[in-house]
Structure 1
Amino acid sequence: MDLGLKGKVAVITGGSVGIGLAIAEGLAAEGSHVVLAARQSERVTAEAGRIAAHFGVRTLGVACDVGTPEGTRKLVDETAATFGGADILINNAGTGSNETIMEAPDEKWQSYWDLHVMAAVRLARGFVPSMRERGAGVILHNASICAAQPLWYEPIYNVTKAALMMFSKTLAQEVIKDNIRVNTVNPGLILTPDWVKTAKQLTADKGGDWQGYLDEVAREHAPIKRFATAQELANFFVFLCSDKASYSVGSTYYVDGGMLKTV
């Protein structure tokens, strides 16, 4: 199936590992040129080079922190210098948290707000103008099932991801007149390096059965009884970027193996 993505320029934040990297590979496989944004310079440069060599597309690795105004500006400027703008923006950069509302300081709230919400705001302001010039665009936000079904131990993550979901809905209404489609994806359990790292830490003094720990998490939370691979989630993102999703505007899609407990 031709998804109409060949030659498109896609920017993916948090693009050097996990979900972001899988999305970049999925888009590159369809012939899209990709810009990977991540904080670690060596890794983002290496992954950009690997994707270019493997898929035969043009790539750019940008080392930046999109949780800062300077980082988003750098990403927009370097993309413009190399590609003249972007057709697709995937706001994927983010990380989990662990705190209580009573104990978390203002600074922690602010840092997550900047990473999960203001990065998306600033990058929209930065990339929408070039999408308008190109006549169309797609912006996708990787939020979380926690935006609608919160986990008790990460209130800041829950709140900022919920805000990102509403921002996405609001942005969609503003830019659809420019033929720019905006949507949100709320993943459930996705097997990322962070999940494996956490499982290994939690089981280090209990025999080290990190896989057993993850299996138990999946059995408890997901009716499908397993984690998704990053590639499974990336497939959905790639579809939403494509012409085949042309009527998908301002929506939130759950890719969660049945984890959401409401309609």
Structure 2
Amino acid sequence: MDLGLRDKVAVITGGSVGIGLGAAKAFAREGAHVLIAARDRDRVEAEAATIARDFGVTAIGHACDVATADGCASLVDRAAGDFGGCDILVNNAGTGSNETILEAPDEKWQAYWDLHVMAAVRLARGLAPQMKARGGGAILNNASICAAQPLWYEPVYNVTKAALVMLSKNLANELVPFNIRVNAVNPGLILTPDWIKTARQLSAPTGGDWQGYLQSVADEHAPIKRFGTVEELADFFVFLCSERASYAVGATYFVDGGMLRTI
């Protein structure tokens, strides 16, 4: 299936590792040029160089912190300066948390709000005009199943991801007149390097069977009884941002192996 993405420009945050890097490769495989953002300059530039070599597209790694206004502004400027604008934005940068509501300080709430919500606001505000000038585009916000089915140990993550889903719906209504489609995705268990790192740490005291630990998590939470791969999720991202999904507007899609317990 030709997704019609050749020579489109995709901006992807959190793009040097895990889901973001998988998405960047999936877009590049379809012939799209990519601008990937992450805080670690060496890593993001190295991954961009690898994508350019492997897929024959233009790939640029931009070091910035999208949890800050300055970081977002620098990424918007880079899209304009290097590509003349962008067609696709994937707001993917984010991380888990661990706290209780009664003990989490204001600073932690603010930090996660800036990373999960304000980054998406600021980048949409900066990049949507570029998309409008190019005839339209797509914005995809990577939220989490925790936006609808919270895990007990990370309330700050749950709340800010739920806010990102609501932002997506409101932004979709605002931008659809300009042929810019906005959607959100709520992934379930996706096998990222962070999950593997956590499994290694938690299983070390009992023998180090990290694969067994991950299988126990999948058995408990996902009816499909396994983690999803980054590639499976990235393929879904790419489809939603393509014209093949042109009637998908303002929706939230669960990619979770059946983990959601409601309809």
TM-score (norm 1): 1.00
Shift in Å, 1:205: 1.2
Q: Deviations over 1:147-201 (max 9, x none)?
A: 0000000000000000000000000000000000000000000000000000111
What count of residue pairs does the alignment treat as equivalent? 263
Question: C-alpha separation between the residues in 1 aligned to 2:136 and 2:78?
Answer: 20
Residue in structure 2 matched with residue 240 of structure 1 by the alignment: 240
Pairing of 1:117-156 with structure 2 (within 5 A): 117-156=117-156
Which residue number corresponds to residue 250 of structure 1?
250
Deviations 1:104-153 (A, max 9, x none): 00000000000000000000010001101001110000000000000000
The alignment status of 1:25 with 2:25, answered yes or no, reads: yes
The 1-side partners of 2:181 and 2:218 are apart by 33
Where do 5+ consecutive residues of structure 1 fail to align? Answer: none
Residues 1-150 of structure 1 mapped to structure 2, 5 A cutoff: 1-150=1-150
Deviation at 1:235, TM superposition (A): 0.7
Amino acid at match of 1:211: Q
Looking at structure 2, the residues matched to 23 and 226 of structure 1 have their Cα atoms a distance apart, in angstroms, of 20
- Supply the distance in 2 between the matched residues of 1:200 and 1:68 (Cα, whole angstroms): 32
1:111-260 map, 5 Å: 111-260=111-260
Q: Secondary structure at the match of 1:22?
A: helix
Q: Partner amino acid for 2:91?
A: N
In structure 2, C-alpha distance between the alignment counterparts of 1:58 and 1:106, rounded to whole Å: 41
Q: Distance in 2 between matches of 1:76 and 1:164?
A: 20
Query: Which 4+ stretches in 1 moved above 2 angstroms?
Result: none
Q: Secondary structure at the match of 2:37?
A: strand
Shift of 1:204: 1.2
Q: 5+ unaligned residues in a row in structure 2: which ranges?
A: none
Per the TM alignment, residue 79 of structure 1 is displaced from its structure 2 partner at its CA by: 1.3
Shift of 1:12: 0.3
What is the distance in 1 between the residues matched to 2:202 and 2:59? 37
What is the RMSD computed on CA atoms of the aligned residues?
A: 0.4
Inter-partner Cα distance in structure 1 for 2:227 and 2:78: 35
TM-score by length of 2: 1.00
Q: State, as a whole percentage, how many aligned pairs show the same letter.
A: 72
